[in-house]
Amino acid sequence: MGIKITGTGSYAPERILTNAELEKMVETSNDWIISRTGIRERRIAAPNEACSDMACKAATNALAMAGVAPKEIDLIIVASVTPDKHFPSTAAILQSKLDASNATCFDLQAACTGFLYSLECANALMANESNYRKALIIGVEKLSVLTDWQDRNTCVLFGDGAGAVVLEKRTGKKDIGGILASKLGTDGKYCDILQVEAGGSSMPATHETIDKRQHFIRMEGQEVFKLAVNAMSKACRDVLESASIRPEDVRWLIPHQANLRIIKAVGTKLGMREENVFVNLDKYGNTSAASVVIALDEIVRSSKVERGDYLLLTAFGSGLTWGATLLRW
Ligand SMILES: CC(C)(COP(=O)(O)OP(=O)(O)OC[C@H]1O[C@@H](n2cnc3c(N)ncnc32)[C@H](O)[C@@H]1OP(=O)(O)O)[C@@H](O)C(=O)NCCC(=O)NCCS
């Protein structure tokens, strides 16, 4: 039977933080940021705007497109590294804000690959005769709270935002769209190269951890860069092969929006034409778990996808985690 996406939605906070503003905060330049990353601006959530608030707006848009009422949803998965609280889950908080009281709710953490992990999870939970028939899958981040605004190596990279999809069971043979193949991976030996060290059970918050700025993102950028290119291109090749689809048959490669050079390198490795590789990181920067789903929503809403098109989603993040998912629209 399989499942398909019947609605997409996204939300970007109003406040735009430009490269020119960053030039006043740390020793950097608009030219450096654009040439090394491709990012021109990013969105920053308001102080009183939590992930559940952004998720609620993205989810409302996705539900409207699908024509599904919140009470019809029986599963909500929220992917995020910046949940509202340690607990309860952001998914539970979102359920209450949406009034989706019939949904089973949980959060999933796979860093920037979280949306793809959540899709795979929902795909498995909704398989065959399961009672889960309509699901909301969300990627949402408020990375501005984990960003060290004194660290030029990282503060130019990240942004806030949310994206959502509604998944439904395919109804009949005429329904061609759906998730065709997926490949996920993790390699925990790299868990130190991209992390937030303090605030969890291994290093609870103390005055000292705050003084040492250990509650912010730390990253070995070049190491992450190399691993990202290789892992995403291999995962993409694996899913294409398992579905017997050639790279040139893919209408859109929708990669995690972390760095334009990474995106281009993955496209080149796959032998894809530049016009089939979707880029919007110039506007949003790296929004981690939200990035791929915000991009998907932008493609859908600008009518850049037609029924029957193949979409190849790929992501990479802390863990290290990576994945690729092939969709037919
Ligand atoms: C972070 C990243 C943009 C840095 O680009 P890079 O080409 O690798 O740059 P390097 O790390 O070699 O740094 C080059 C120089 O620029 C400097 N630099 C770093 N950030 C800077 C900034 N914002 N402005 C100006 N200079 C900067 C460095 O200090 C370094 O200076 P040095 O040579 O005097 O030591 C790049 O490595 C990257 O995107 N990595 C992957 C990040 C990522 O995708 N993370 C998320 C995964 S989900």
Q: What are the boundaries of each domain within the chain?
A: 3-169, 178-328
Q: What does the pLDDT average to over 157-167?
A: 98
The answer, as to whether pTM is greater than 0.95, is yes
Q: Mean pLDDT score of the chain, rounded to an integer?
A: 96
Q: Which of 7-11, 127-131, 175-179 has the lowest mean pLDDT?
A: 175-179
Interval 16-34: pLDDT, tens: 999 999 999 999 999 999 9
- Which residue's CA lies nearest to atom 29 of ligand 1? 153
Integer Cα distance of 137 and 112 in angstroms: 14
Integer Cα distance of 114 and 239 in angstroms: 18
Interval 255-266: pLDDT, tens: 999 999 999 999
- Which residue's CA lies nearest to atom 30 of ligand 1? 153
Interval 67-100: pLDDT, tens: 999 999 999 999 999 999 999 999 999 999 999 9
Q: Which residues are catalytic?
A: 112, 256, 286
Q: From the CA of 148, how far away is ligand 1's center (Å)?
A: 15
pLDDT at 176: 67
- Which residue's CA lies nearest to atom 39 of ligand 1? 259
The pocket around ligand 1, CB under 6 angstroms, is made up of 28, 32-33, 36-37, 112, 152-153, 156, 219, 221-222, 224-225, 228, 258-259, 262, 286, 316-317
Q: From the CA of 5, how far away is ligand 1's center (Å)?
A: 36
CATH class of 178-328: alpha beta
Q: From the CA of 225, how far away is ligand 1's center (Å)?
A: 10
Integer Cα distance of 209 and 203 in angstroms: 8
How many CB atoms neighbour CB 192 within 10 A?
Answer: 11
How many CB atoms neighbour CB 41 within 10 A?
Answer: 18
Q: From the CA of 219, how far away is ligand 1's center (Å)?
A: 10
Q: Under CATH, domain 3-169 is a member of which superfamily?
A: Thiolase/Chalcone synthase (3.40.47.10)
On the question of a common fold for 3-169 and 178-328, the answer reads: yes
Q: What does the pLDDT average to over 263-283?
A: 97
Tokens of 74: 């029986």
Interval 229-254: pLDDT, tens: 999 999 999 999 999 999 999 999 99
* Residue 174: pLDDT over 80: no
